[in-house]
Structure 1
């Protein structure tokens, strides 16, 4: 009886009254991004609600990702997407990539650490891949929208730090970006369940930088510091880490020297569609040293002639 009263207290007045707040304490497009959406293709292929490629076959939720492991280690809170009652919690699985040989068997615990919240009227949300020991709530606890639940982690069946958020009604998966299935290819529908606007990004640049050699991809994903470029470095390399690439996309990477002259520029056509990746180009030192001053780095990403994103930064050399 007590549980029924709690559910009634938080039940939406009607289906149209139900909405979700952003489930991470981060700034979308700055220190977090949406890596994958719910798969809307009923067959063996995959497509997101815009007919884009940010999904994979059978994906039943939305992945809110951090760009690096170091960002996860600083602690990014997971927030309740709506008010309700906690149904169940798990908090004892290690934070380790599924690709790590040391990763333990999942034993049907693909979600990793997380919880389920019952919102009444058949609505529930599930939160997966949270950090071990970080879950702050208990079963039968009432939570309010925006309340901290724990931290983003790397537990369960995952290769990168993120929150997998699933929304269900009466046990059926619901896409919060297109709950009534009315979306067509292109911009998002007006029927999205989010309380605030969440713009769709078909891909994005997670970071760019300068190194003295082509960096190891694992170092970029971890957010580890690279060796600084000095005037005597044997090479000067610009790198770009990105998500949401499609085969045929073009990335133009360039370095401009302190005098405004081009050190190197190269246009790269990406050969395959992938969730995340990186590219790097560089130039070897030919003289005694590199001139001191500010070097300008630029990455421009285009798809079928349309610019998706560009990222620019300066790198001082003293």
Structure 2
């Protein structure tokens, strides 16, 4: 029979076991906070700035960031796509700590853009998670917020839609991750990567790193206006007697890249031009075309292909089709 002191000791040991198990922290994991296909319907325009000084670089040592940037910018190619409604989703389970939903959807620098007064995030949601983790979702569409303060959400739940509010110069979701108020890069949470992918990220399924690419391409009867490219209204009908221009809209262009624009018409190749990029730019476009020949363009189908080349190899490609009818 056990001694009088053995039972309390055994019971004490049993009581300690659940506490030890609870002390083992569950890994914090994230799902994609936006409903789009990266590389096709959206792209990461900016990552967390991994440079400790006044310069800027992303975790892969690329230029997709700017000095002091504290989040990941999931961008849409155009405002037209944003207007169709693209969902923002909770990246992990948690509780809504705060939100804002009254700022207009106007890009900064455009007519009517409001004074920010510290509201750079625009319309957005902040979610608190276990063990000091926090996620923030910025630049959401006015009137789209679908949660309330104090509400518990699961990973993947709809929070609202991508917008243009706050300190925004293109349609995107600024997604920030913090732990105990310190910024964390979900692609490199331990800040140990030297120009490459981390062995451990915060993502359940780590998104591929896209070092740049084509956002959009199309035909027009002249060199398009940059604002029309942003709006998604640059593609135009082309008359048979008008100039025929092929354009491509790029993010993450680097000095030394080449944009190759080709148009094949009913009677052969109409355009074939390589356009080197002289400097690194976050967004840019190039266009190439020809005036209509005497008597107008032949009736039929014109196929356009825009290719972004880096180090001589294709990095990204977009196609466009134009039909000329009598």
- TM-score normalized by the length of structure 1: 0.92
Equivalent in 36, 47, 50 of residue 26 of structure 1: 36
Secondary structure at the counterpart of residue 17 of structure 1:
coil
* 1:168 lines up with 2:178 in the alignment: yes
The unaligned stretches of length 5 or more in structure 2 are 1-21
* 1:255 lines up with 2:232 in the alignment: no
Flag the structure with larger Rg.
2
Give the 5 Å matches for 1:37-186. 37-186=47-196
Equivalent in 203, 212, 224 of residue 221 of structure 2: 212
Distance change >3 Å, CA 38–CA 117, structure 1 → 2? same
Distance change >3 Å, CA 290–CA 143, structure 1 → 2? same
**Hey, what does 2:18 align to over in structure 1?**
none
Q: Distance in 2 between matches of 1:102 and 1:208?
A: 29
Residue 57 of structure 1: how far off its partner (Å):
0.5
Residue 26 of structure 1: how far off its partner (Å):
1.4
Q: Distance in 2 between matches of 1:254 and 1:235?
A: 15
Higher alpha-carbon deviation: 24-33 or 169-178: 24-33
Q: Distance in 2 between matches of 1:235 and 1:14?
A: 67
Q: Distance in 2 between matches of 1:14 and 1:126?
A: 26
**Hey, what does 1:303 align to over in structure 2?**
310
Q: Distance in 2 between matches of 1:258 and 1:315?
A: 11
What is the number of equivalent residue pairs in this alignment? Answer: 304
Q: Distance in 2 between matches of 1:122 and 1:279?
A: 46
Task: Provide, for residues 63-120 of structure 1, a one-character-per-residue CA deviation record: whole Å limited to 9, x for no partner.
Answer: 0111111111111110000000111111111111111142121001111111110011
**Hey, what does 2:5 align to over in structure 1?**
none
* 1:287 lines up with 2:297 in the alignment: no
Secondary structure at the counterpart of residue 40 of structure 1:
coil
The unaligned stretches of length 5 or more in structure 1 are 1-11
Residue 272 of structure 1: how far off its partner (Å):
2.0
Secondary structure at the counterpart of residue 209 of structure 1:
strand
Secondary structure at the counterpart of residue 116 of structure 2:
coil
